[in-house]
Amino acid sequence: MTYTSIQQDKLEIKDQLGRAPSTTTIGVWGMNEDVVIEELSEVVNLRKIYSSGTDSFILGHPINGILGIASGTGGNQIRLGDYRGSLRLQRVLNPNNVYREYFRDTQFKHSNTNMTWDLTNYALVFSSGSIGQSEIIALNNETYSSCILNLSGTALGNLTPKVSFNGGVNFETVTLGTPYNATNTGTAIMWRLEATGSGTCTKVQLEYS
Amino acid sequence: MVMLQEGLNRVRDLISTDMTLGTLGASGTAAALTDTNLLLPLSATQQSITKTSTDRQVQIDYSLASTSGTSRTFKEFKTHNASYDFDRMVFTGIDFTVNGSDEVSITKKYFIRGT
């Protein structure tokens, strides 16, 4: 934000009323500082609920009376009481198709990651041979074919950055800060960093289309 | 001079406190700065949201039970309170049936960045 001394402005204006304009400089402080509220990812999931009774345990029932083994009349394993299945990812949206990762949580940490996803120092700490990989960071029933990947941190030259456009089937090596057109287009984007030395990554920003 | 972490986290807390509700809608029209509501809001989907804060970041969690809401194709979502709308998000439609077999879960994060 830029801050102008309103009080000083008022004095200058007051001084100039009815007189020749003054040449006195008006004091201005330039803070050159921004406070930005950034929207990060929105994730939409569905979760299966087995609450209709068709797969619930029923004492003495020839099918629904056997816990955990038989398939109930609804076609699923018999559960005791209501049962909530695991989340099924439907959409991952980012404002203006720009994903940002600040390492404040592990929402997008893939199980392949053996770099240190450091939630204390808010960074991805890497050493030679280690891997950092995201879960799907863009998914909206549309095809993606290009991206620009940017990283912040130290010793980023020790990283080989890769992006997958097809949900991790193919990872393609990209150049940081340079537009990249996918060889294998797809509907689900992930990123992957492979380390050849040590360093720290504090931000991942991936623009895509 | 620099905006302090403490100050940025204060901004985060003010936003977090003010944002209390989430509602789904059925319009796929792109979001615009001048929007003042969802374009096709589905009031039966309005739910309280939970919030989790970490350094300069707040995550909101919205959940719609399988027995709540209305049977529609959801295409938009907003965060808001009783008086103000904060954010409208549009996505490719997701079908939902009341008393069906699915519940809806939405998470959204905001980050307060100083330079």
Q: Which residues of chain A have pLDDT under 70?
A: 1-32, 50-56, 58, 64, 69-70, 72-76, 79, 81-83
Maximum separation of any 2 CA atoms in chain B, in Å:
56
Residues of B in contact with A91 (CB under 8 A): 91-92, 94
**Confidence (pLDDT) at B64:** 96
**Confidence (pLDDT) at B32:** 96
**Confidence (pLDDT) at A81:** 64
pLDDT tens digits along B1-21: 889 999 999 999 999 999 999
**Confidence (pLDDT) at A3:** 41
Q: Nearest CB to B110: which of A38, A46, A105? A: A38
**Confidence (pLDDT) at A23:** 46
In angstroms, rounded to a whole number, what is the distance separating the alpha carbons of residues B82 and A198? 50
**Confidence (pLDDT) at A29:** 54
Q: Are B50 and B61 in contact (CB under 8 A)?
A: yes
Residues of chain B that touch chain A, judged by Cβ-Cβ distance less than 8 Å? 1-3, 8, 11, 15, 54-57, 59, 65-67, 77, 87, 89, 91-92, 94, 101-115
**Confidence (pLDDT) at A78:** 73
**Confidence (pLDDT) at B1:** 82
Q: How far from the centroid of its chain's Cα atoms is residue B113's Cα?
A: 20
Q: Nearest CB to B89: which of A33, A84, A93? A: A93
Percentage of residues of chain A with pLDDT beyond 90: 64
Q: Say what the pTM is.
A: 0.82
**Confidence (pLDDT) at A22:** 46
CA distances from A202 to A74, A95, A102, B9, B104 (A): 48, 20, 6, 18, 32
- Report the Cα–Cα distance between both ends of chain B, in Å, rounded: 10
Provide the token pair at B46: 């309005």
Residues of A in contact with B112 (CB under 8 A): 35-38
Q: Which residues of chain B have pLDDT under 50?
A: none
**HEC profile of chain B:** CCCCHHHHHHHHHHHHHHCCEEEEECCCCCCCCCCCCCCCECHHHCEECEEEEECCEEEEEEEECCCCCCCEEEEEEEEECCCCEEEEEEEEEEEECCCCCEEEEEEEEEEEEEC
pLDDT tens digits along A66-96: 777 667 666 667 767 666 778 899 999 999 9
